[in-house]
Amino acid sequence: MSATLARGRVRVAVVGAGPKGTMMVNRLCAFAASNAGALDLEIDVVEPFVPGAGRVWRVDQAWSLLMNTAAAEATVFPPGPSDLTGPSVHDWAVMVREGLVDGLPSRCREFAAAVEPQTAVPRAFYGAYLEWAFRFLVRQAREAARIRVHRGSAVSVTDLSNGRQRLLVDNGIGALDVDAVVLTQGHYAVGLGSPERVKASAAQELGLIYIPPMCAAEADLSGIAAGAPVILNGLGLSFYDYVTLLTTERGGRFRLDAGRLRYEPSGTEPVIYAGSERGVPYPVRADFSPTGDQPYVPRFLTKAAVTALRESTPGVGDFKRDVWPLLAKELGWTFYTVQYARLHGTGGFEAFSARYAAASWDSSRMRDLIAEFFPQPWMRWDWDRHTRPAADRRFRDPAEFGDFATEYHRSVLDEAAAGVTRSPHRAVTAALRRLRELVRLAVCHHGIAGSSYRRDIENWFDGLSKFLVWGPPPVRVEELLALLDAGVVRLTGPRTRVAFDRDTAAFTAESAVVDQSRVTADVLIDARLPSTDVRNATDPLVASMLAAGDCRAHVISDAAAPPGYPVGSLDVTENVFTLVRSDGRAHPRRFAYGVPLRGILGPFGTALPAVVEHCDAIAATACATGTGTVTASSGEAMTRLAGTTRQVGHG
């Protein structure tokens, strides 16, 4: 960012000020600072909630709802040093403890006293941090840019005859005429899918309660009576949120009894029946263990390997064929390195390691090598065992399955307590978390063919990796075990199917592999977030752009099945993230970034350094296009910038 890329006056609107919008504002300011004297930047931030926290991280939500990221890892600042860098949540908690942060609610101060690097803080606490971070950014950037906040929702955007953009904002704010618009709308509003519409209308017709996919913090659970059966469909992070809201938020308490957590009901809880395809709730997340945050240096799935893959299979990449063997070999390496030390000590490891490196994943050579050093099946890494814990087993009743699930979670908690240096299982899950950025680089922007994306990512790897990597912090699993023990939560089992039974006018849930598991209930909660699918948008801005042909859903190309596989992501250009219109032309003054691009960037989230680079590329392009001063030298510098991004995008 050292070259002067833009000259003159420019006004950029950022729509949505959650974490990504905050980062976008940060990088716009960084761009202005690096063009000081040449560029006069105004930023209009449009957000109906308090900027920084936005909607997801509102401070006024239940404090019992936790982040699933460790405090030391959660940040909205780019790595320093610069005036625009700032603390992680853990560093901020230390600042709060030291009295360096004013104007916080007393609850924040009390909580800050207990925050350790590995703490999973309440979402409301993270929200307080994000609100502070936004205010801090505005202060730090005052020399670089003028930032105005508009507390409303953007409802439409149109082209003016001079190329500028007219953004209409509700709440009486009206029109903002700007040079460029960046959409960082995160989980924007979408309508119900057709299965959800059927459930909703059945519920309405018969006076039942149906809660469709949504953020649990926003669900109205007040109509759920004490003791009433409730079906929770889904066992991921939203499941844990609903369980918390229906138990401790209703006055129940956990108490330590001889080293075990016990649940003391308040008497106002419903009885929660929960199930999913896998049947087992997400296990504890790896990086909350004491050694979970170690950097990981890949040996087989390297950036160079990903680049080579993308170059050798342009447009026809296949995840299972091309990426998975490298990833599985990498994770196998992680597993057997720790397992070797645990079982054999250090002697002879070089010989094993050289032979492992020389063999392909799942080749007979590799299998023989593993069998030689790890003769018992329990010594080996088994994808199926770890991702489908119940495998194809049958259970005679839900109680037997409940015991199985409890035992499974206890063993994973023990592994987590051992940490990634002593538990080979935890080492794999922690490494997988780190490696997802490389997987993202391998698949993003047509890295693999559309059919492979649908089959291998959407229908297989995404679920598998979320189960292994995205679990809750340990306290949530300990609580779940206490609730299972108390009979407040009951698991229906694997391959649970939820349906609506017209004869009994109730919702039902039943596992295909657990006998006597059928339950009926007047309440059904689809415990997951809705997917941000542009084709289903009810957000007025996205919906109106779609109707006008000003944006479209991304199609992942597929030479074998043209035109490819459509995903719900907003379509953007590679490198600078300009919105692509329905006729395929990019709009030079409109950009989008973050959650709405998941189908393009891959469903795994994006690591912080890449987020910073992407936002830098958008900032440079938006300002240069907005000022209309793209000179030969700035064009060159922008190409360099875009090139940096391409390298990130391509590995």
Residues that bind ligand FAD (CB under 6 A): 15-16, 18-21, 46-49, 54-56, 67-69, 153-154, 184-188, 215, 529, 539, 541, 594-595
Element (H, E) at 15: strand 8-15
* Ramachandran quadrant class, 52 (left: phi over 0; alpha: psi -120 to 50; beta: rest): left
Q: What gap in Å lies between CA 345 and CA 381, rounded to an integer?
A: 18
Q: Specify whether the CB–CB gap between 535 and 553 falls below 8 A.
A: yes
Distance separating alpha carbons of residues 139 and 135, to the nearest angstrom? 6
Closest approach of ligand FAD to the CB of residue 320, in Å? 27
- Identify which of residues 35 and 606 has a Cβ nearer to ligand FAD in the complex: 606
Nearer to ligand FAD, 123 or 552 (CB): 123
Q: CB of residue 65 vs ligand FAD: minimum separation in angstroms? A: 8
Minimal distance in Å, beta carbon 45 to ligand FAD? 9
**For residues 382 and 391, what is the distance between their CA atoms, to the nearest angstrom?**
11
Output the smallest distance, CB 538 to ligand FAD, in A.
10
Please, which residue, 490 or 614, has the CB nearer to ligand FAD? 614
The least CB distance from residue 465 to ligand FAD, in Å, is 14
Least Cβ distance, residue 383 to ligand FAD (angstroms): 25
619 vs 633: CA distance, rounded Å: 17
- Whole-number minimum distance, CB 155 to ligand FAD, in Å? 7
Nearer to ligand FAD, 187 or 650 (CB): 187
8 A C-beta contact, residue 534 and residue 523: no
What are residue 489's DSSP bridge partners? 272
Which helix (H) or strand (E) element contains residue 335?
Answer: helix 324-344
Rounded distance between C-alpha atoms, residue 439 and residue 323, angstroms: 8
236 vs 398 by CB, closer to ligand FAD: 236
- Whether residue 649 contacts residue 444, with contact meaning beta carbons closer than 8 Å, is answered with yes
Residue 253, by phi and psi: left (phi above 0), alpha (psi -120 to 50) or beta?
beta
Alpha-carbon distance of 362 to 368, in angstroms, equals 10
245 or 567: CB nearest ligand FAD: 245
Using the minimum distance from each CB to ligand FAD, give the nearer residue, 49 or 577.
49
State the minimum distance, in angstroms, from the CB of residue 56 to ligand FAD: 4
For the bound state, the minimum distance from the C-beta of residue 88 to ligand FAD, rounded and expressed in Å, comes to 13
The greatest distance separating any two alpha carbons of the chain, rounded to the nearest whole angstrom, comes to 75
Sign (positive or negative) of CA dihedral 118, 596, 445, 574: negative
Looking at the Cβ atoms of 5 and 618, the one nearer to ligand FAD is 618
**Closest C-alpha to 7, from 643, 631, 647:** 631
- Shortest separation between residue 460's beta carbon and ligand FAD, angstroms: 22
> What contacts 465, CB < 8 A, 6 or more positions away?
432, 436, 439, 604
| Angle in degrees, CA 10, 84, 130, rounded to 5 | 100
User: What residue has token string 């649990």?
Assistant: 216
Residue 502: CB atoms within 10 A of its CB come to 10
Residue 364 C-beta: closest distance to ligand FAD, Å? 41
Q: Which residues pair with residue 348 across a beta bridge? A: none
Residues belonging to the chain: 651
Euclidean distance between CA atoms 473 and 119, whole angstroms: 8
Nearer to ligand FAD, 558 or 613 (CB): 613
Residue sitting closest to ligand FAD (CB): 186
Cβ neighbours, 10 Å, residue 125:
28
Return the residue matching tokens 């979402």. 123
Output DSSP code: residue 156.
E
Angle between helices 364-373 and 349-358 (to 10 degrees): 160
C-beta of 184 vs 645, nearer to ligand FAD: 184
Shortest Cβ distance from residue 48 to ligand FAD (Å)? Answer: 5
Give yes or no for a contact between 470 and 581, defined as CB atoms under 8 angstroms apart: no
Instruction: Report in angstroms how near the CB of residue 450 gets to ligand FAD at its nearest.
Output: 24
Nearer to ligand FAD, 3 or 217 (CB): 217
| Residue 592: CB minimum distance to ligand FAD, A | 10
Nearest to ligand FAD of 7, 90 (CB atom): 90
The C-alpha atoms of residue 239 and residue 102 are separated, in whole angstroms, by 35
Q: Which is nearer to ligand FAD, 3 or 608 (CB)?
A: 608
Question: What is the spatial distance between Cα 382 and Cα 153, in angstroms, rounded to a whole number?
Answer: 48
Between 13 and 323, name the residue whose CB sits nearer to ligand FAD: 13
Q: Note whether 79 and 608 are within 8 A (CB).
A: yes
